Amino acid sequence: MSKTTISTNDNDIINLLENCTDLEVCSKEISTKLSNIHNDVVEDCINQIERLVELHSEINKCDKIFDSLENTLSSFLVQLGTIGYDMQSLQTESTSINQQLDNLHSVRNHLSKFIEQVSISPKIISTITESDCNEPIFTESLIQLQQQIHFIKSQEHLEAKSISEVKVVIENLKNTAILKIREWILIKINSMKKPLSNYQIIQNALLKNKYFYEFLLVNDKRIAKQIKEEYIDTVSKMFYSYFKTYTSRLFKIQAEAATKDDLLGYEDFKPRLISSVLSLGKGVPIKNKTSVFSLAGRHSLLTMDLISPIIVPHVAQQMNESVEFEKIFRSVQYSLVDHASYEYLFSADFFLISGENLIDHFSQVMGKSIGYFSQFFSVKIQSNNDAISLYICICLCKKLRQLLIEREINSFDGYWHSLEQIIWSRFEKVMMNHNESLRNYDFSKAHSNLKKQSNDCIKPHHVIRRYAEMVSALIYCSKLADSSTDARLYDILSRQQQEIELFISHYCSQLSSKEKLFFSINNYDMITSVLTEAHCSDARERDLFENLRQECVEVYVEDILKEYFEELVTFVKNTESLMSSDNIEELNKIRGTLKLIVSNFNNTWKQNIEKINKEILDNFSNFKNGTNILQFAFSHFIQYYQKLTKICNHKIFDSDKNGNNLLNIHQIMIELKKYKPIF
């Protein structure tokens, strides 16, 4: 039965059930229908029997095929399991083979490196045994040899036969290299002993091959020490000989030095020209006694000439030049600093030393020279009587020590300290001699030599000028060496300043009261002027002497006004005193004198002003100082006149109408302006 037929019957049954009204009838109909359907199905199966048989046969074939396929797949699964195991085995074997290969490569690399480090190149052997030490290839071979020596020492604990065999060859080659290096270095050191040899060129050659000493230091300390000792002995003697010869030749061309009589208070009573200003410019110092007290350009040694080339003795002799002590001192000490700096750096670089070892080595090299300088200059300094020269040398020591500090060389500070102490001691002695000469000055003999018809006795004294120039030179040099005045110099100058004040006081004792003021003001002004010209306007000495000058000026102005306007000054002072005490009785007594005083003043004031102007300009040698004093005197004169005007306007004197006779103050001011300097 076809599917369509079954479907139709089903639909019929469904329709029958839906339209059925009688269940029994419906049941019968359904049973009939179902029976028919069954019969149809059976009939249909019978009709399709052949096809069913064929289907059954095909199903059996499929079962067999599936059984065969199952067997095949099972066999394949078993084979796959065997392949996985084989792959795992192969992977393990591959890892093992790779490890063996890596080990083989590692062994080969180590072995090849070992063979390379152990074996000695024939080129190295021939270079070290046959080549000259100056050739660069010799140094390269030496470095390679040192590397092999280090390697052999590091492998000795292995007790390998190859190491033992090569060690003998290495030792022989090392000994050959040591002997060649020793001979080469000693030849270089001994060449320094030759006259006129330039040791710095030799040292440059040693520095170029400084690895030689390093090789010796590593492989044979005994020979390295021997070479170092030979170098110290040779170079120390070389420096000693050089500096001894150089200093002796320099002092043969020394300029005429100051003598023990070149002192502030020394007086030979012979006329001579004294310089008027302190020379701070460039130029050669004057070779006479005045140069002992003036700077004359010598301060350049502390500035631009500090590191200028040293003096060459034979060149100076050919040019017929003479050289001052401080220039010789600068040249010698700068030569020491220059050579010491170069030697210090060379020793540190070549001998591979630093710290205390370097300082000890340097002291051995330069010890003889420094000892010679200390002894030599101790003698020379004691014969120097020039205070300025000595102080310049002190400043040079400070400057050169600072130069060494800038070069990071501080290995012989003791020398500078000792040298400074020697110079300070001599400087203090010379300054004491100057002070002693001031105390022993023969004032009576000096006055007897002055011309009576002249006013020489009130002019600036040459001793004071010497002092002014010398103290300004010392202060200026101190500023160049340091920003402030040295404490020891300050004490020395303080003592000398007191001696100068006593000198002026003793000199004035034989003068009249007015001459004392003229002399004091002129000399104080000269001191302050010289200090100002020497760029020492901020010096303590200048302020002190300026105050003394001002005190004398005030006294002098008061005296000169009292001399030429005695009635005016006396009346004003007395009247002010009475007015302040309100003494009416005494004021009435002097009321009658006012008219006479005013009348006399009106008649003589112009002449007196002219006399004051003439006296001041004639007796004060410094025009600027004189005009300042004149203006100061006029200022005080105006003050007195204003006080007189005030007195005339007082109630006691106002009734006399004396004030009407007084000149207008503007009229006086116009007259005084005629004396005002135009500059």
Residues 55-93 have pLDDT tens digits of: 888 888 888 888 888 888 888 888 877 887 878 888 888
Q: Is residue 147 scored above 90 in pLDDT?
A: no
Residues 6+ apart with CB under 8 A from 9: 33, 36, 37, 40
Mean pLDDT value of segment 589-595: 75
Q: Is residue 511 scored above 90 in pLDDT?
A: no
Among 123-127, 286-290, 628-632, 645-649, the minimum mean pLDDT is found in 286-290
Q: Is residue 247 scored above 90 in pLDDT?
A: yes
Q: How far apart are CA 332 and CA 679, in angstroms?
A: 49
Q: Is residue 279 scored above 70 in pLDDT?
A: no
pLDDT recorded at residue 168: 77
pLDDT recorded at residue 280: 44
Mean pLDDT value of segment 511-530: 91
Q: Is residue 274 scored above 50 in pLDDT?
A: no
Shortest CA distance to 350 belongs to which of 150, 147, 189?
189
Residues 6+ apart with CB under 8 A from 323: 250, 253, 254, 255, 311, 316, 331
Please indicate whether residue 32 or residue 465 has the higher confidence score (pLDDT).
Answer: 465
Q: How far apart are CA 262 and CA 293, in angstroms?
A: 9
Helix (H), strand (E) at residue 218 = helix 211-219
Shortest CA distance to 183 belongs to which of 216, 208, 214?
216
pLDDT recorded at residue 225: 93
Q: What is the DSSP letter of 459?
A: S
Reported confidence tier of residue 469, pLDDT bands at 50, 70, 90? very high
Q: Is residue 325 scored above 90 in pLDDT?
A: yes
Mean pLDDT value of segment 200-225: 91
> In a 10 Å sphere around its CB, with 0-12 CB exposed, 13-18 middle and 19+ buried, how is residue 678 labelled?
exposed
pLDDT recorded at residue 244: 94
pLDDT recorded at residue 268: 61
Reported confidence tier of residue 108, pLDDT bands at 50, 70, 90? confident
pLDDT recorded at residue 114: 60
Contact 382, 315 (CB under 8 A): no
Give me 372's structure tokens. 């010679």
Among 118-132, 422-436, 471-485, 663-677, the minimum mean pLDDT is found in 118-132
Q: Is residue 155 scored above 80 in pLDDT?
A: no
Put simply, whether the predicted model's pTM sits higher than 0.85 gets the answer no
Contact 426, 488 (CB under 8 A): no
Q: How far apart are CA 569 and CA 636, in angstroms?
A: 10
Shortest CA distance to 521 belongs to which of 462, 611, 458?
458
Reported confidence tier of residue 340, pLDDT bands at 50, 70, 90? very high
Shortest CA distance to 523 belongs to which of 465, 470, 473?
465
Q: Is residue 284 scored above 60 in pLDDT?
A: no
Please indicate whether residue 463 or residue 24 has the higher confidence score (pLDDT).
Answer: 463
Please indicate whether residue 87 or residue 331 has the higher confidence score (pLDDT).
Answer: 331
Q: How far apart are CA 44 and CA 2, in angstroms?
A: 8
The pLDDT tens digits for 555-583 are 999 999 999 998 888 888 888 888 777 77
pLDDT recorded at residue 136: 87
Q: Is residue 389 scored above 50 in pLDDT?
A: yes
Mean pLDDT value of segment 268-281: 44
> In a 10 Å sphere around its CB, with 0-12 CB exposed, 13-18 middle and 19+ buried, how is residue 546 labelled?
middle
The pLDDT tens digits for 350-365 are 999 988 999 999 999 9
The pLDDT tens digits for 113-129 are 666 656 677 888 888 88
Reported confidence tier of residue 400, pLDDT bands at 50, 70, 90? very high
Mean pLDDT value of segment 227-256: 93
Q: Is residue 656 scored above 60 in pLDDT?
A: no
Q: Is residue 285 scored above 80 in pLDDT?
A: no
Q: How far apart are CA 20 and CA 13, in angstroms?
A: 10
Coil, helix or strand at residue 661: helix
Mean pLDDT value of segment 510-526: 90
Coil, helix or strand at residue 464: helix
DSSP bridge partners of 323: 254
pLDDT recorded at residue 388: 93
Contact 139, 184 (CB under 8 A): no
Reported confidence tier of residue 281, pLDDT bands at 50, 70, 90? very low
Give me 170's structure tokens. 């290495």
pLDDT recorded at residue 112: 65
pLDDT recorded at residue 127: 84
